[in-house]
Amino acid sequence: MPSLTLKAIAAAALLTAAYCAPAPVFEPSFKRRQNSIGGDNDIGPPGSSGQLRGPVNLGGYSPGNPVSSPDTVIPADQYQLAPGQAEDADLGLFLDLSDIENPQPIRGAGGKSPTDPGPRNVPLDRQNSDIFAPPGTDSGDVPQAKWPMGLSHNRHGLKGAGWARQQNVNNLPVATAMAGVDMRLEPHAYRELHWHKASEWSLILNGSVRLNAVNELGETFTDDLQAGDTWLFPAGVPHSIQALDEGVEFLLVFNDGSFSEDNTFLVSELMIRNPQSVIAKDLRVDTSALANLPQDELYIFPGRPAPANISAQNVTGPAGSLPLNKTYSYHLSQQEPFRVPGGEVKIIDSTSFPTSTEFAAALFTVRPGAMRELHWHLPNSQSGDEWSFFIQGQARLTVFSAPESSRTFDFQAGDVGYVPVPDAHYIENTGDVDLIYLEVLQAPVFNDVSVAQWLGLTPGQIVQDHLGFSQDTLNRLPKIKPYILPGSTNMTQTNFTAEAE
């Protein structure tokens, strides 16, 4: 027995030693390397060399760490200047950098400095010359006033039926009062039956569309609209939008800067997110009648062609159709524009479109070289922030914010502009084609304060004492709001008396 016990103890000791022995080392196909201060560096793949991390002695000053000083100034023979770029910076001439080789952020100073060796996004510099090389009159800090819809996420509908992209405070934080959506529907496609927490104002950019809606009184509405027409659906009113034969693209403006197109109340989701027994009870049908309900939201989806005869879709109940003084559509394309030297304008607000008590808008056409006059909007219920969308051409505007800040922004077709009330601003056509843009206010009546008219209707002595104007300049000040002022396509011109004669 003792010998067995000793054998058992010896066996146990051998077993313990085996469990406690170090595990066998398997050499990987690549090895850990020692760094220069003796520690293990990170593992590298086959063929790697060098170090992921350097030694500690590279930190701080050391005579052993020399600094090279290559010249970073761009030589004058390696860049071009645009017309007007070397002129006095306070003139603020528009700089056309579109065809300039290696454009530089130079304003005034004889065109000699400063330069930018990069890295930079040259196409953006060319499109935004007044940010890249700002006028000398720009000052202080002004919130970003521009958002290109081309940078907005483009959400596609079902089966290629269309798309939508939006702008709200997530990408343009200053735009707290309004948000916008650019939407496309292919021929016969629907923006499905839905309603919003915010009111919806729209301008059709191209194509044609059929609208249907029912209000809280049970009054029904149906209309066909084309490019240049507008509609307004008050918050909570359910409606649908269907493209006609040629498809449609339209702009939507909502009276809430935080509005998101993704948070719309959809009829498909309404059906999906309630018990089927409840839906059946509400519609007075058997649950089997709900077998073909969609399994997910429709959003934008293909549809059958709308009947050519609109009366085929004129459904009415005891409340009848929506009366004309409450209609949700306005055929702005049929309105004759108000023409002035330099362009034309169409205004739409509750004066001509009674339903539009929350939105007032103006569709401006500004000739090359001309400008929408310097103005601001009223900080009360009669006006508000200005939300703009650029449909054609290119432009610039300067936002002046009290007491001494201003910044100049450049715009191209597809851009959104936003100016908080009551900041002063203008919009100048800097291109060679007509500028067409939409100006939207949250107001029952479109209105603004014209700087030129304000000075023209103020006693001359007061204006002269404030601004030092000559009598000839005082005589040229208008007493009627100009809206648009003509100008030369030569963007380096500084004498505009000829256009005023």
Distance separating alpha carbons of residues 263 and 184, to the nearest angstrom: 18
* Beta-bridge partners for 180: 167, 253
- 254 pairs with which residues across the strands? 179, 200
Peptide bond into 148 cis (omega under 30): no
Which residues are catalytic, by number? 439
Closest CA to 430 of 361, 360, 370, 343: 370
Residue 454 parent element (H or E): helix 451-456
375 is annotated as contributing to ligand binding? yes
The reply, when asked if residue 377 is annotated as ligand binding, is yes
Report how far residue 151's alpha carbon sits from residue 127's, in angstroms, rounded to the nearest whole number.
14
How far is it, in rounded angstroms, from Cα 308 to Cα 293?
A: 27
186 assigned binding-site residue: no
Which tokens is 107 given?
A: 């304003």
- Smallest CA-to-CA distance from 400 within 437, 428, 375, 369 is with 375
331 is in an annotated binding site: no
Q: What gap in Å lies between CA 371 and CA 430, rounded to an integer?
A: 9
Residue 382 near residue 447, CB atoms below 8 Å: yes
| Interior/surface letters 101-135, b for 16+ CB within 10 angstroms, e for the rest | eebbbbbbeebeeebbeeeeebeebbbbbbbbbbb
DSSP 263: G
3-state secondary structure of 243: strand
388-421: b or e for each residue (b if 16 or more CB lie within 10 Å)?
bbbbebbbbbbbbbeeeebbbbbbbbbbbbbbbb
Is 202 in contact with 232 (CB distance < 8 Å)? Answer: yes
306 DSSP 8-state letter: P
H or E stretch at 406: strand 405-412
Closest-CA residue to 215 (of 192, 190, 232): 232
Question: Alpha-carbon distance 417 to 440, whole Å?
Answer: 10
Interacting residues of 107 by C-beta distance below 8 A, sequence separation 6+? 85, 89, 133, 134, 135, 136
Per the annotation, where are the binding residues?
194, 196, 200, 239, 375, 377, 386, 425
* Residue positions forming the annotated binding site for Mn(2+): 194, 196, 200, 239, 375, 377, 386, 425
